Amino acid sequence: MSHESSAIPSLLLKTPLNDLHAELGARMVPFAGYSMPVQYPAGLMAEHLHTRAAAGLFDVSHMGQLRLVGPDAAAAFESLMPVDVIDLAPGRQRYGLLLNDAGGIIDDLMFFNRDHANGGDLFVIVNGACKAGDIAHIQARIGQRCEVIPMPEMALLALQGPQAVTALQRLAPGVEQLVFMTGGRFTVAGCDCFLTRSGYTGEDGFEISVHASQADALARALLDQPEVKPVGLGARNSLRLEAGLCLYGNDIDTTTTPVEASLNWAIQKVRRTGGARAGGFPGADKILAQLDNPASLTRKRVGLMALERIPVRDHTALHSTDGAPIGEVTSGLLGPTINQPVAMGYVQPEFAAIGTRINAMVRGKPVPMEVTAMPFVPTRYHRG
């Protein structure tokens, strides 16, 4: 081992649950600058299936948490994204997209309206690998209009699966009354938490923000529940792909627009052409033109299912059935729930219709694939 490679682990940040991961026998890998558990001794497949059947606990403390505070916070934040921030009701959460001036996606994120009545308090969760850049971008663009308060002292846990609510309500009675994309403050096993009924698996579940000093106690209390087992990044990735959810850096990045990424659903009518607050976000001219004239697109994100049992990985070239290059896979694996190879990727728009047959070029050989609706596994969010 060279000096350089042996020095790398010491540079990795550790989450507040690092000792617990070691105790649980996790295999740790570098991810977004942190040492993170990719899997536990049960293995990716067992962890994935347990989350679909019962409840999995994920350490997602590498993600960035921040608050935007002040009377102008919602309007300021709305100026950075093509989504409706101003009309988001207190107690509700929404998916958002930070854009650059070319309409490319700097990051995708979740934001929650903790309070409009007392001058505005938005709680924002961004991706771990992007958090330093995101915070700097937000500070530079709207730091004069509201307070931008990073929260590095907070850990983040995700409890996901159909029995997540069963386990959590034992420790925090009342959480069962929340519906998808709502949340609030709860005391969970004696720990002061802010949680939302949301997640990144396609299942019902919760994301729980807790002070780093209480994270270990909270995680142990959750793992003491009979439904709950620890789950690593490997299964987190396979779960989100089956749910048709984008991974930043793979399926979306600064070179992709929300329309190319088939994220039109995330752009509310009020921000579109003809809407009360149309445009006014970075790259608006380009994105509104793409929304208004889909024929102008040169590529589109689609779901793909392999017709043979051959996994098709990220960066695999996609060809038409007559051999012309038409795109690339951005995420792909054997979906553990459906036991079929699934992928998402970008193709030229004329190949984007559901049912279209194309080929993935795996080690020089064509693997037939079909464009498929997403999610690959039906989502089970608790909408009340």
Per-residue pLDDT tens over the stretch 186-240? 999 999 999 999 999 999 999 999 999 999 999 999 999 999 999 999 999 999 9
224-234 residue pLDDT tens: 999 999 999 99
pLDDT of residue 85: 97
**DSSP label of 215:** H
List of domains in the chain: 3-63+153-231 (3.30.1360.120), 264-372 (2.40.30.110)
Instruction: Tell me which residue has tokens 């069963």.
Output: 166
pLDDT of residue 46: 98
* pTM of the predicted protein model: 0.96
CA atoms 369, 304, 313, 330: torsion sign: positive
pLDDT higher than threshold 90 for residue 7: no
102-126 residue pLDDT tens: 999 999 999 999 985 667 999 999 9
pLDDT of residue 116: 57
Phi, psi angle pair for 254, to nearest 5° = -70, -10
CA distances to 157, 195, 279, 358 from 210, in Å? 8, 9, 36, 46
Nearest Cα neighbor of 188 from 203, 167, 205, 204 is 167
Instruction: Tell me which residue has tokens 């590095």.
Output: 152
d(CA 65, CA 211): 11
Q: What is the mean pLDDT of residues 260-267?
A: 98
d(CA 124, CA 334): 32
pLDDT of residue 132: 97
pLDDT higher than threshold 50 for residue 5: no
CA atoms 46, 48, 51, 56: torsion sign: positive
8-22 residue pLDDT tens: 556 899 999 999 999
**pLDDT exceeding 70 applies to what percent of the chain?**
97
d(CA 171, CA 179): 18
CA distances to 73, 313, 328, 331, 375 from 344, in Å? 35, 10, 9, 5, 10
pLDDT of residue 339: 95
The CB-side HSE value for 315 (13 A sphere, CA atoms) comes to 2
d(CA 18, CA 24): 10
